[in-house]
Amino acid sequence: MEALFPILIAIIVVAVFGILLSLIFGSKNKVKKSGGRSKERQSIVRDATKKLTSDPHNVPALTELSNLYYKEHNWQGAYPLYATLVNLSSTRVGINLAEVKLRYGVCAANLSKHQEALKALLEARKLNSDVFDVNFYLGKVLVEQKEYEKAIPLLKKAITINNDIPECYGLIGKAYYLSKRYKESLPYLRRALDSNPEDKDLLFSMADALNESGTPDRAIKVFMHLRPDPVYGAQSCLAAGIYHTRCNQNEAAIKDYEIGIKHENAPQDLLLNIKYRLSQCYIKANNMPASLSLLKSIQLISPNYKDVPALITKYQELNQNSNLRTYMIGTSNEFVALCRKIASTFFKKSRTKVIDINVSSDYAELLTEINTDKWQDVITFRFYRSTGSTGELYVRDFHAKIRDEKAGRGICFTAGVFSDEARKYIEGRPIDLIEKTQLAKILSSLEMNSL
């Protein structure tokens, strides 16, 4: 057994030495091959250039040099050579016209020379329509030209020839998406994303397509993932904020919009929209100063943006009167509590008993029993939150309710004004109308009394 050890050691040494030699000579061979290719390339360029110097229309030299540049994706170098070959094709033999026109079109497409690319590729397709590149690049140029309906069948044809090119699926998905055929875009966008899951353009397109297809709950995760992105972040923040607002998730919407306005390089219209929506979310969160600050920043950039001037006037007034703010934009519970307070203090030196409360989307209504030292009566209070004009029909409805409840009198409040017809209607009827000016005084007095 001991005699075998030297033999084993020798075998191991030889094996290791052999591996080292193979690595050394293998790397040298690679260098030689690489150097060989470099020398071969230099030789092609040198010989072709020499021939073209003496004869600019030398077809073999043009063909060899253009093919070299084409394989290297040197579109700038190959383009003029193929252009020359195309021009020579009508008078010279030995030119593969289908290949030359195709490659000329591909070079033009990659150099964003759309008109030249379209012409060459259309001619190449007439010669042979069953080539992947001619269908793919023709479809790609048409997508870039916003000719989506023309591009889609060409790109689908390309897939039937070679179904293993992710960019082709991405282009079909984008063509469907940009032509607002959102559901049809989704399978192609997903297929493209399988190969390139971090492509932000495809991700945003898919999320927006899901959103537009009526499945925003499937899109929201992608929008939130894209919020920090410098290109798609602002749009994603807007989409996420709208989704969370619709779901009554105001805090989440605020976070979305706050991230959105940090994208200062986003288009101005987009940023203004985000700021406007954020100001409304701040109002819901009872953060009046923050809302006003945003609205004023919008006004500096676009003085007449939406209803910003009116909102600034409105919120400045509300900011000075907390009770008026509660009346107009407080929660339903806060509003009803304030209405009870108004009703209980409306008649001085009185005792008020609330018999019934009715709350709708437009108003709150209190049926009360009022007792004073001199009289007692059943009185109905109705409080409209609208800041516009309250018309006769609303007052008629209120009058009908007073009669149904057999109340002796009705007091109707609005945060806006009553129309002339509404004022005429109450003549001779037991109804008092309280408009915003008087309402604000009542609410201010409540605020003073609470100090």
Residues 443, 340: one domain? yes
Structural domain including 272 reads 219-320
**Better-predicted residue by pLDDT, 322 or 75:** 75
CB contact burial 95-116 (16+ within 10 A = b; e otherwise): beebbbbbbbbbbbbbeebeeb
Mean pLDDT of 382-406: 95
Question: What are the pLDDT digits (tens) for 195-241?
Answer: 999 999 999 999 999 999 999 999 999 999 999 999 999 999 999 99
pLDDT at 3 over 90: no
Residues 395, 338: one domain? yes
The residue from 320, 351, 370 where one domain ends is 320
Mean pLDDT of 146-153: 97
Q: pTM of the full predicted structure? A: 0.74
Residues 288, 340: one domain? no
Confidence of residue 38 (pLDDT cuts 50, 70, 90): confident
Residues 279, 338: one domain? no
pLDDT at 50 over 70: yes
Residues 336, 445: one domain? yes
Q: How many domains does the chain have?
A: 2
**What CATH number is given to the structural domain containing 405?**
3.40.1350.10
Residues 272, 300: one domain? yes
